[in-house]
Amino acid sequence: MIRKEINRISEVGKALISVEGNPGVALNHVVELLEADTNQSLSFAKAINITEDTTRFQVFNGTQGLSTKTKIRMHELPLTAGFSHKMLGRSFDGVGHVNDGGPDILFEKELSTRLDTLNPTARLVPKQPLWTGIPMIDVFNTMVKSQKIPIFAGPTEPYNRLLSQIAQGAQADIIIFAGIGLKFDEYHYFKEELSKSGNMDKTIMFSHLAGDSQIKGLMLPDVALSVAREFGDQGKDVLVLLTDMTNWSNILRNVANYQDMIPSLQGYPGSLYSELAKRYEVAADIDGAGSITIIGATTMESLEDPVPDNTGYITEGQFFLENGKLKLARSLSRLKQQVNGGTRNDHRAVMTAMASLLADAEKAYEAAEVGAANDAFSQKLLRYRKDFIDQIEEPFGEPLQLEAALDLCWDVLRKHFEPIETGLSKKLTDQYWDLKDSEKGI
């Protein structure tokens, strides 16, 4: 609810503005800056110093275009996000305004976007699997509800397509897509694919296009995660898909530079780790409520870049997308052991056996490059490696249930090896080696 507007800016600096007296704000309160004549929103600013005579605000994206005539609008609650169950199936911008051309929504409540830390005693130990329909994830790096995990990928990799694939197959009550710095065709691709899959009615899209205000991009994860937390508090299992967290971090860097913060590595603020952690730590399995799981696409040139480097210390594993494939050797879900022992009786054994055979196959591939690996078993390994990459590491296609994904794994093993060569127990090979199509989980 809007409280009041004032027009008494006394000084405009490079990144700061000063106001006579205290207009009625507390420290860290965020206000909106408006063009004097049209009331057009120009930027946001945060109160950083309050005295009896003056209040100083730090402007998020610089003071260019501001003057002493600029209006300051105070809100009853700083940086709130509207919430309604009617948001499902709709699209919004970075500050939660409808942007899909449809009718406005009458919100049921306003949510704080401060992302306050959840009481640790309210967090449950993750023990529920989150199935995605992608064999490389569900079989080899099983996710759990409440996990936080990034997708590391080069800038040209189809990471947004992978997020769309996850959204189509994910077994979650609510899917919240949060895209920062999207191209126009990427935004429509997500929307079309979700509509085709039938999941649009349980999805909320928050999008910031590349040409939109940086402030909307900066605020977008907080708005999306605040809505996710509200659904989680209501007992829903929520999956949040963030992309691209490098774009978001670059906006954070620009804002920090406008505010004359002392830069750290590659110009990012020294607070980059805590800023990323604040968003990822929203992921939780909440006692007496639902859960929030976060997958964040992070583009990179190198793992040593500040954004993926800091992200790796915060999250619980990572998925590596390389040449359009989810690479087993570089991917890891650190929480998979919490859940993959309670699935089908061959799950862990197949995962371990195929990973071991792939490691041997990679050695054979390196040997083959120098003219070695000419023996019969090495040739088997090389053919197995090709099928593993083409069928198992391939993340795109029709989503598969876990049973069907495990059966696919058995098909690959059966094609290239004898039972004794797989390292699997005789009990399991007797049970699954000659499985008929009618017995498969398809």
Residue 143 contacts residue 127 (beta carbons within 8 Å): no
Predicted local distance difference test score (pLDDT) of residue 402: 97
Q: What one-letter code names the amino acid at 296?
A: G
**pTM of the predicted model as reported, rounded to 2 decimal places:** 0.89
Last residue of a domain, one of 310, 337, 364: 337
Q: Is 398 exposed, middle or buried (0-12, 13-18, 19+ CB in 10 A)?
A: exposed
Per-residue confidence band for 3, with pLDDT thresholds at 50, 70 and 90: low
Of 355, 392, 357, 393, residue with least CA distance to 378: 357
Predicted local distance difference test score (pLDDT) of residue 439: 60
Compute the radius of gyration of the chain from its Cα atoms.
Answer: 25
- Span 12-55, pLDDT tens digits: 987 789 998 888 888 778 888 898 888 888 888 888 888 888 89
Does residue 435 sit within a domain? yes
Of 286, 202, 208, 195, residue with least CA distance to 242: 208
What b/e string do you get for 4-26 counting C-beta neighbours within 10 Å, with b at 16 or more?
eeeeebeebeebbbbbeeebebe
Predicted local distance difference test score (pLDDT) of residue 82: 93
Question: Is residue 54 within a helix (H) or strand (E), and if so which, with residue range?
Answer: strand 54-59
Last residue of a domain, one of 287, 313, 337: 337
Q: What is the CATH number of the domain that holds 8?
A: 2.40.10.170
Do 332 and 359 have their domain in common? no
Predicted local distance difference test score (pLDDT) of residue 350: 98
Length of the chain: 442
Do 135 and 237 have their domain in common? yes
Do 428 and 303 have their domain in common? no
Q: What share of the chain is helix, strand, coil (3-state, %, to 5)?
A: 35, 25, 40
Do 317 and 403 have their domain in common? no
Do 114 and 15 have their domain in common? no
The CA-atom distances, in angstroms, between 205 and each of 50, 59, 76, 283 are 38, 27, 26, 18
Query: How far is the C-alpha of 179 from the C-alpha of 107, rounded, in Å?
Result: 22
Question: Is residue 297 within a helix (H) or strand (E), and if so which, with residue range?
Answer: strand 291-299
Predicted local distance difference test score (pLDDT) of residue 49: 83
Query: How far is the C-alpha of 316 from the C-alpha of 332, rounded, in Å?
Result: 8
Do 128 and 180 have their domain in common? yes
Number of domains within the chain: 3
Query: How far is the C-alpha of 184 from the C-alpha of 281, rounded, in Å?
Result: 29
The CA-atom distances, in angstroms, between 34 and each of 17, 39, 74, 127, 160 are 13, 5, 11, 48, 35
Query: How far is the C-alpha of 151 from the C-alpha of 159, rounded, in Å?
Result: 7
- Span 212-268, pLDDT tens digits: 878 789 889 999 999 999 999 999 999 999 999 999 999 999 888 776 678 888 989
- pLDDT at position 8 over 90: no
Query: How far is the C-alpha of 130 from the C-alpha of 16, rounded, in Å?
Result: 46
- Span 156-191, pLDDT tens digits: 999 999 999 999 999 999 999 999 999 888 888 888
Do 23 and 104 have their domain in common? no
- Round the average pLDDT of the chain to a whole number and report it: 91
Residue 181 contacts residue 349 (beta carbons within 8 Å): no
- Span 65-122, pLDDT tens digits: 899 999 998 865 557 889 999 999 999 998 898 998 899 999 999 998 888 888 888 8
Residue 28 contacts residue 35 (beta carbons within 8 Å): no
Residue 83 contacts residue 106 (beta carbons within 8 Å): no
- Max CA pair span of the chain: 85
Q: Which two tokens stand for residue 262?
A: 């002392």
Q: Which of 12-26, 50-64, 344-358 has the highest mean predicted lDDT (pLDDT)?
A: 344-358
Q: What is the CATH number of the domain that holds 303?
A: 3.40.50.12240
Last residue of a domain, one of 43, 78, 113: 78
Domain of 126, in residue numbers:
81-337
Choice between 296 and 28, residue whose per-residue pLDDT is larger: 296
Give the three-class secondary structure for 430: helix
Does residue 342 sit within a domain? no
Give the three-class secondary structure for 230: helix
Does residue 194 sit within a domain? yes
Per-residue confidence band for 294, with pLDDT thresholds at 50, 70 and 90: very high
Do 68 and 108 have their domain in common? no
Per-residue confidence band for 195, with pLDDT thresholds at 50, 70 and 90: confident
End-to-end alpha carbon distance in the chain: 53
Percent of the chain with pLDDT over 70: 96
Helix and strand numbers, DSSP H then E, in the chain: 11, 21
Does residue 168 sit within a domain? yes
Do 90 and 106 have their domain in common? yes
Does residue 243 sit within a domain? yes
Per-residue confidence band for 59, with pLDDT thresholds at 50, 70 and 90: confident
Q: Where are the beta strands (DSSP E) in 133-227?
A: 143-144, 148-153, 174-182, 203-209
Do 333 and 361 have their domain in common? no
Does residue 416 sit within a domain? yes
Per-residue confidence band for 328, with pLDDT thresholds at 50, 70 and 90: very high
Does residue 20 sit within a domain? yes
Query: How far is the C-alpha of 158 from the C-alpha of 194, rounded, in Å?
Result: 16
CB atoms < 10 A from the CB of 368, how many?
A: 16
Do 54 and 117 have their domain in common? no
Do 48 and 129 have their domain in common? no
Predicted local distance difference test score (pLDDT) of residue 441: 56
DSSP 87: G
Does residue 108 sit within a domain? yes
Q: Which residues, 6 or more positions from 169, have their beta carbon under 8 angstroms from its beta carbon?
A: 131, 132, 133, 134, 399, 400
Query: How far is the C-alpha of 63 from the C-alpha of 13, rounded, in Å?
Result: 7
Which residue matches tokens 């997308």? 321
Instruction: Decide the pairing of beta strands 54-59 and 16-20.
Output: antiparallel
